[in-house]
Structure 1
Amino acid sequence: MKTLTFQNSYIIGVISAILIFGSLVECRVPSSYNLNKVDYTAINCRKHSALLTDFGAVGDGKTLNTKAFNSAITNLSQYANDGGALLIVPPGKWLTGSFNLTSHFTLFLQKGAVILASQNEADWPQLPVLPSYGRGREAPDGRFSSLIFGTNLTDVIITGNNGTIDGQGSYWWDKFKQGQLKLTRPYLIEIMYSDQIQISNLTLVNSPSWFVHPIYSSNIIINGLTILAPLYVPNTDGINPDSSTNVRIEDNYIESGDDCIAIKSGWDEYGIKFGKPSQQIIIRRLTCISPKSAMIALGSEMSGGIQDVRAEDLTAINTESAIRIKSAVGRGAFVKDIFVKGMNLNTMKYVFWMTGSYGEHPDNKFDPKTLPNITGINYRDVIAKNVTIAGKLEGIANDPFTGICISNATIEMFVKKNAIVENGVHKVKLPWNCTDISGVTSNVHPQPCALLQEKKVDCPYPTDKLPIENVQFKTCSI
């Protein structure tokens, strides 16, 4: 596995937007553009830069700019071994189909810049199925490329001064709802088989499906994103690290029709064979709104395993569940060493939700005797209000979920108008429902189910740092 090799000291990269690229291209900056210095933070600064307009792009929201993006990135790739390069997307609306990134490269969206995704299927190349899934997730024949795609890259950054990437997903949502797609819908950003990835300080809206999907990758930082999808559109997950290691997800705001964050690692027999877990993941300062799904989901595709996930300082509002574990017979592998502390929840259907019967399968070749191992799940310091069900914890018969720990959790249950009052207390729906699980609780209200034994304990949370937490940003300038 590759490791990050970032310098300890900050390096100020002074990047000019008016460099001359020899005989390749002359970078001319129209006088209407604001040339004030812009500072930004990144894992690496770049020695070279160019404007998208230097390659013939037109930001009128109508002209297709796929060729300009591809030409710019191809030309700038020659600087990979000479300090890298930065492509500036200036203010305007830049319509484009799918395009591929390169190594030692930064895509920078200025304030007022909007990358608009084409709604013409011809502008989205077809990709083979992911080996850990064995088929397209929504359709068996494959999948469309994401809008911004990269594979086998090192040191790639997508950032900006809060520019916007708009997936214009309504075309795809309608066709998916009507069952008219033969390929899986495209994602907004997908990076595969890559190392040293930063995605930050952007607004992402209306993805056709998942928004951010790093897969088979390592050393990833995703921070400062605002992700917005209609709350009724399925599979518009916000951030989905998949079979990836050493991931830092911080300071993100997500509104989604599906999970705000979903950690995955492959599907049934295909994920088991591929055998690449998601591990060493830290999530901090997340705000989520998702009435139909979870703030953070583990699974359901978890057949490569999920281990050492740490989440803290989490806020969910009008969200179906907080942390949800989704697995099933045939999944195999494990979800273990999960640590969560500091959740502030308001208007939830469930606070704690685990299920061993999430039975979507890629095909009928899965082995029903292949069972997952769900163990070492720790929650502490939870405040929740207006909750319908405190906990729904359902393991698998003959394969219980074990090592569950919940401490210091205060849950205020939703009370219907005209609810029955007994002995001065409003009756509410049974707050806990537990089967095939075991664990302990301490200072949890309302009182949990009998399968979670009361024991004076503080559920653990690691004090060591993951390697990705030691990575510091440099201050760069345009």
Structure 2
Amino acid sequence: MVFEINNDFVQVGGVISAILLLASLRVKVSCDEYPAMSCRKHSAFLTDFGGVGDGKTCNTKAFEYAIRNLSQYACDGGALLVVPPGKWLTGSFNLTSHFTLFLQKDAVILASQDESEWPHLPVLPSYGRGRDAPGGRFSSLIFGTNLTDVIITGFNGTIDGQGSYWWDKFHKGELKLTRPYLIEIMFSDHIQISNLTLINSPSWFVHPIYSSDIIIQGLTIFAPVDSPNTDGIDPDSCTNTRIEDCYIVSGDDCVAIKSGWDEYGIKFGMPSQHIIIRRLTCISPDSAMIALGSEMSGGIKDVRVENITALNTQSAVRIKTGAGRGGYVKDIFVKGMSLNKMKYVFWMTGSYGSHPDPGFDPKALPNITAINYRDVRADHCKYSARLEGIPNDPFTGICISNVTITGGKKKLQWNCTHVGGVTSKVLPKPCKLLPEKKKTFDCPFPEDKLPIENVQLKTCCF
């Protein structure tokens, strides 16, 4: 009898132990999973540092306090700051290395419209002056410099720049400093910005500059189509960059690749290179789906674009430059464009003005060469092409193949000056400066992969 009682006790105890063990395991494996370049050992919520998500209380100090405290874990597996559901009003704040800013579903970071919440920064060395005014510039809402391994991601949380305040000042000519960007990371490496909704930036939305090893993925970006200079994604003097699966509605270029402005960009000499853009969708009635320039004085090369879509957009992949820019745009490869209701399918501009100051050298001529487009379907488009090189500095090595354009009612479909190249299987018939070869061919597209394409995101958990 004693044995039986003890056996029952042992059996019951074993069941209880098993339940506790399973519960323990369940706690360990039940978590929020997300894809990231790096996982973090430590995590905390903004509310742990006094954050209040009522849309009225300013959280600038809460963000600063949280990030400062979490930075101590940089050498111990890094840290993740969770922004929970709510509306989190804040001014500009700085990130740290080995750090993830994570926005949960229904979390909204609201940019303050109080200028005192935006620190002032000096002008960018490759620009020499601010874009809106000659002086310095306001810090971006989310800013970081000299960082490594920094991630901004979430479950499609929202960052709202509340840009109307700044757009109004721009239109009235009241700006004494350049407007803030929404996100800017500079002099940094191993950057990921993904799975977020970004709306109403004061100016450019996402601006990595002087940086490398960048993944920008799964962003939805919205700004009114008449908002000033609301570029979507602007890699600027950046190397090894991957932009994919983004949807952008903008008042300016959806993506603009840059590398400095006239004599300042030439002197700084840092190109944008080894960039891949794929599965991009763009709506921008007054600008380009992808612009190369106009600030390209440090050079742009090895840009690969594939499987992109534009609707009601001024132009597709546009080159913007001019005398005084110097630099180069070369080894550009575009494959697979689906276009509808465009003004121009192909557009290259060699007379783009907008110089930082009178000190630019008009003899600094850009080198535009090896520009390749293939596999394009464009419907309901006004013009096939407007290709304008520079006198005594023609754009060369242009290759266009397997293109069908419909809807053009203008008599002059191809307007070409100071350009040279070849075409194959292109309708309507191209201009004489781009003769069609009798033997059909495809314009080249690289078969090798860029190093950033081989980076696989991990499944992380907090």
Relative to the length of structure 1, the TM-score reads 0.90
Q: 2:414 aligns with which of 432, 450, 464?
A: 432
Equivalents in 1 of 2:132, 2:426: separation in Å?
40
> Which residue in the other structure is 2:93 paired with?
99
Alpha-carbon separation, structure 2, partners of 1:465 and 1:234: 36
More helix by share: 2
Counterpart of 2:170, as a letter, is F
4+ long deviations beyond 3 Å: none
Listed as ranges, the gaps of 5+ residues in structure 1 are 1-17, 19-34, 416-427
Q: Show the counterpart of 1:366.
A: 360
Residue 468 of structure 1 is matched in structure 2 by: 452
What is the aligned partner in structure 2 of residue 326 from structure 1? 320
Give CA-to-partner distance per residue, 1:308-327, whole Å, 9 cap, x none: 00000000000000011000
User: Where does 1:203-214 land on structure 2 (aligned, <5 Å)?
Assistant: 203-214=197-208
Asked whether 1:231 is paired with 2:225, we answer yes
Equivalences for 1:378-457 in 2 at 5 Å? 378-415=372-409, 428-455=410-437, 456-457=440-441
Given that residues 379 and 405 in structure 2 are in contact (C-alpha distance below 8 angstroms), is that contact kept between their aligned partners in structure 1? yes
Q: Which residue of 1 aligns with 2:273?
A: 279
Quote the offset at 1:234 in angstroms.
Answer: 1.8
For the residues of structure 1 that align with 2:178 and 2:382, how far apart are their CA atoms?
A: 34
Residue identity over aligned pairs, in percent, reads 78
**Higher alpha-carbon Rg:** 2
Please give the residue correspondences for 1:242-281 in structure 2 after superposition, counting only pairs within 5 Å. Answer: 242-281=236-275
SS of equivalent residue, structure 1 residue 403: strand
Contact 1:346 1:387 in 2 (8 A): yes
Q: Is the 8 A contact 2:384 2:408 kept in 1?
A: no
Q: Which amino acid aligns with 1:114?
A: V
Offset of residue 457 of structure 1: 2.1
The equivalent residue for 2:59 is 65
Structure 1 residue 36, shift from structure 2 partner: 6.4
Q: Is the 8 A contact 1:389 1:429 kept in 2?
A: no
Q: C-alpha separation between the residues in 1 aligned to 2:407 and 2:295?
A: 31
Q: Which amino acid aligns with 1:440?
A: V
Distance 2:39 2:238 in 1: 24
Count of residue pairs brought into register by the alignment: 433
Alignment check: 8 A CA contact 1:390 1:413 kept:
no
Partner SS state of residue 348, structure 1: coil
SS for the counterpart of 1:69 is: helix
| Contact 1:388 1:429 (C-alpha < 8 Å) held by counterparts | no
Letter in 1 for 2:418: D
Verify the 8 A CA contact 1:105 1:156 in the aligned structure 2.
yes
Cα distance in structure 2, aligned partners of 1:286 and 1:141? 34
Q: 2:139 aligns with which of 125, 141, 145?
A: 145
Aligned to 1:304: 298
State the Cα distance separating 1:138 from its structure 2 match: 1.4
Inter-partner Cα distance in structure 2 for 1:305 and 1:86: 36
Question: SS of the residue aligned with 1:383?
Answer: strand
Distance of 1:57 and 1:386 partners within structure 2: 50
Provide the rounded CA distance (Å) in 2 between the counterparts of 1:382 and 1:234: 29
CA RMSD of aligned residues (A): 1.0
CA contact (8 A) 2:325 2:364 kept: yes
Q: Any idea what the Cα deviations from partners look like across 1:228-274, whole Å, max 9, x if unmatched?
A: 00000120000000000000000000000000000000000000000
1:131 counterpart = 2:122? no
SS of the residue 2:374 aligns to: strand
Aligned equivalent of 1:240: 234
Q: Deviations over 1:58-89 (max 9, x none)?
A: 00000000000000000000000000000000
Residue pair 1:110, 1:161 contacting (<8 A) in 2 also: yes
Structure 2: where are the runs of 5+ without partners?
Answer: 1-26
| Cα distance between partner residues in 2 of 1:246 and 1:292 | 29
The residue type paired with residue 166 of structure 1 is D
Match of 1:121 in 2: 115
C-alpha distance in structure 2 between counterparts of 1:342 and 1:369, whole Å: 36
Residue deviations 1:403-429 (CA, integer Å, cap 9, x gap):
0000000000244xxxxxxxxxxxx33
Query: Of 345, 354, 362, which aligns to 2:348?
Result: 354
User: In structure 2, the residue corresponding to 1:282 is in which secondary structure?
Assistant: strand
